[in-house]
Amino acid sequence: MKTTVPWLLLVFILLCQPLLSQSSQLIGTIDSILPKDTLANQKTNSGALFENNIFYKELLVLKAYLLDETKLNEQFNGKISFGLNGQEVKNSNFFVISTGIELSKGTYPFTFDLSSSFQAQIQNGALLETVSNLSISFDYNYSEKHVGQESYVFLTATNNSFLGIDQRYEIGGGLIFNLYSAQKYITKGTPRIKANRTDGPLNYGLTEAGQVKLIGKNQDSILSDTSFNKEVDELRLFSEKSSEMKNLKKARKQFTNNMIKQYSTTRLSLLAGVNYELEQTADSMELFNGDLIRRGAFDATNRFRFVLRPGFAMQGGNFKFKSTAYFKLGIINEFKNEVRNGPAMDKKADYWTEWTNSLNFKFTEKIGLSIVYSLFYDNAPNRLFFNVSDNTTPDFRLFEAEKVYRFMGFNFNYRL
């Protein structure tokens, strides 16, 4: 099983390569807007140089702002977390340790995420149970016009001794469909504004930080369409024939799409995709039947699964809440899972679900608290029939691994 990891990682990199090449062009595109040697010396219909025109000066300000925002979006962001609970008496001690790290890069048109977490129970110096997870994902918006549609690829590696999972690797991809709160206000790259509103502050479905970026000091250049006014002859000639104007429109569209994804107050999502899963259980796995316990060994498995994941997210000035529900179904003749031993037989639908909720509070720009609750259910866990009879008449009973797993965690976070 362990030799599989490099091959999965290679496949993941190959899937990401064409998408990564797209991002390298973004800053170059914005940086090419209005180069002085091609525009400043051009003359308007009235004979004046563009470098003396108010419109041209506004475009230079807009170029600088978009370039700064794009470079900021391209930076890596990180967070580390740590939690510790301990109990100790004279002859015994028990500790629960949890750590994690998250790294992310980009918002639009691509997002790269890497996260790793580890939880361990230690009693009297001996390691009892561990849960670890490594996840790498890459999301890509393949359409400028439809910011809510994106593709994804991912790779995960998991260990969970509570469920008897020694190693589990998954690689897959699919599509995500999103509905952001800011989409109905920000369309075609320009927010639709009701200038005479009197019913309180405008929010456009954005957080306060998003409002500041969108309608702050750059309100005229970002939101206004006067720079594309086709009633002015000298600007019509420029806007219709200049490649710089086309780049400017593209940069504005990328900027507003980034605002929608990063600063929308609410988001509804639906993920659909296919995973390839490889799993190895513990050498001697505990199986349960009421009060009885048996141990069994299982061969490594590999299978395809169809994944469906609805989700909801909400954020404000100092909090973020996210709730997702995974549904994984067996496909390619694996809709049912069956075990037999002599005349005894058990057949179940092969699916599992996981519901995860997280709430993050931000006390300062660097320090915060996260609360996570997760509920896992496997309808067809590993199971075997054992003969529990003490006489010559067989009595086959079904023993199965844990099918329900709950997790709740509290961690302090420090943003890098």
Number of domain units in the chain: 1
pLDDT at 258: 84
Tell me what pLDDT residue 224 has.
45
Q: Which pLDDT score is estimated for 64?
A: 67
| pLDDT at position 82 | 81
Predicted structure pTM score: 0.76
Sorting pLDDT into bands at 50, 70 and 90, what band is 245? low
Average pLDDT estimate for 381-395: 89
User: Which structural domain, as residue segments, surrounds residue 201?
Assistant: 32-74+182-264
Give the integer Cα–Cα distance in Å for 65 and 214: 11
Given a contact cutoff of 8 angstroms between Cβ atoms, the answer to whether 328 and 305 are in contact is: yes
**212 in any annotated domain:** yes
In a domain, 224, yes or no: yes
More confident residue, 413 or 46: 413
Per-residue pLDDT, averaged over 271-290, amounts to 91
Amino acid identity of residue 301, one-letter, is T
Q: What is the pLDDT of residues 17-34, one digit of tens each?
A: 554 554 455 555 555 544
Burial label, 231 (beta-carbon count in 10 A; 0-12, 13-18, 19+) = exposed
**Which tens digit of pLDDT belongs to each residue from 143-196?**
877 888 999 999 999 998 888 888 999 999 999 999 999 887 775 444 444 444
Q: What is the mean pLDDT of the chain?
A: 77
Q: CA 360 to CA 368: how far, in whole Å? A: 7
Please report the pLDDT score of residue 226 as a whole number: 42
3-class secondary structure, 292? strand
259 within domain boundaries: yes
User: Which of 73-87, 133-147, 394-408 is predicted with the least confidence, judged by mean pLDDT?
Assistant: 73-87
pLDDT for residue 236 is more than 50: no
Is residue 365 situated within a structural domain?
A: no
In a domain, 189, yes or no: yes
**Of 209, 215, 180, 351, nearest to 275 (Cα)?**
351
CA torsion, points 322, 186, 208, 137, in degrees to nearest 10? Answer: 40
Is 154 inside any structural domain? Answer: no
| pLDDT at residue number 219 | 45
In a domain, 130, yes or no: no
Asked, for residue 106, whether it belongs to a domain, the answer is: no
Is the pLDDT reported for residue 400 higher than 90?
Answer: yes
pLDDT in tens, 323-352: 999 999 988 778 888 999 888 899 999 999
Predicted local distance difference test score (pLDDT) of residue 248: 67
Query: What's the pLDDT at 215?
Result: 64
The confidence band for 43, taking pLDDT boundaries of 50, 70 and 90, is: very low
Mean pLDDT for 63-74 is 69
Phi, psi of 381 (to 5 degrees): -70, 175
